[in-house]
Amino acid sequence: MTENPAGDGGGNGPSLSELRIAVVREIATALTGVPAEDVPGRLCAALLNLLPVTGLALNLTAEGIYSTTLGATDATASRLADIQFTLGEGPGVRAAEVSAPVLAPDLSQDARRWPLFVPQALQTGARAMYAIPLGNSTVVIGTLDLYRDTAGRLAPADLASAVLAADASTAVLAGLDHGKASPEGVASWLHGAGEAHNEVYQAAGMLMAQLGAKADEALLLLRARAFREGRTATEVAEDVLLRRIDFTEND
């Protein structure tokens, strides 16, 4: 099941078996001999070779919250992830919630679905997004968020490839040694991938101390200011940590 009011397009194409072989071959070739810390970037590049999109990002969730960008092919893909993290809405957030692909072939028509996200997403140059959950119907560990700089539906074969790519990515991430403590281990690059969003939680901690607010209230204040100023939560958090802004002053 997918969330896609506009439909997926039509036409014949390769078989599911052929698509699966192509996905596995591309990812296996790209990741052979690659150290763990380079896996996210190489995996994103391999997926971009497979899929007819402008860019993509692999994003993780924690306790159901869209939280960490593991890897991205370009600045726009990273920005789209940051905007969704800041606002708590968008195709990736929704895909994680419903454990199913969420397709937005023309973002300009989706203001009713995501009234906060769409205006900022369009400013990045994205015109279409397609989010595929990582995991299964019971447990979602993140999303594969694809975007195009032109509006348009994914052909059935392309959507099937995206789902297969998400499944393969889930297997790759689950198969890595998450307990390895050496600098080459997953813990190293996973920590680095989350540093930007860690700043948000650190800034929220400062607001809790300054304002006597609860954790969820502090995070909401930070996100609200980011939305009001047309910035991401990460950008506002950096200003809080560097004391460039003070929420105690008429905020």
Choose the final residue of a domain: 179, 211, 226: 179
Label residue 196 by pLDDT band (50, 70, 90).
low
pLDDT value for 1: 65
CA–CA separation, 153 and 162 (whole Å): 13
126 and 215 fall within a common domain: no
| Res 104: pLDDT | 98
CA angle 42, 99, 128 (to 5 degrees): 60
140 assigned to some structural domain = yes
Are residues 166 and 49 part of one domain?
yes
Are 130 and 213 contained in the same domain?
Answer: no
144 and 86 both lie in a single domain: yes
Q: Are residues 128 and 55 in the same domain?
A: yes
Say if residue 46 is in the same domain as residue 108. yes
* CATH value at residue 147: 3.30.450.40
What is the crossing angle of helices 195-211 and 233-241, to 10°? Answer: 60
Q: Is residue 184 part of a domain?
A: no
- Is 248 inside any structural domain? no
Domain match, 224 and 110 both: no
pLDDT tier, 188 (very low <50, low <70, confident <90, very high otherwise): very low
**Inside any domain, residue 161:** yes
Strand, coil or helix: 134 = strand
The verdict on 53 and 169 lying in the same domain is yes
Please give the residue range of the domain that contains residue 226: 194-241
**Is residue 8 included in any domain, yes or no?**
no
Provide, for the chain, the percentages of residues in helix, strand and coil under a 3-state DSSP scheme, each rounded to the nearest 5: 50, 15, 35
Instruction: Give the single-character DSSP code of 153.
Output: P
pLDDT at residue 143 tops 50: yes
Residue 113 lies in a domain: yes
Domain shared by 88 and 212, yes or no: no
pLDDT in tens, 4-54: 654 444 456 788 889 999 999 999 999 998 888 888 899 999 999 999 999
- Say how many domains are in the chain: 2
pLDDT for position 157: 93
Mean of the pLDDT values across residues 116-129? 97
pTM above 0.85, yes or no: no
Q: Among residues 217, 191, 194, which one has the least CA distance to residue 204? A: 217
Q: What is d(CA 211, CA 51) in angstroms, rounded to the nearest whole number?
A: 47
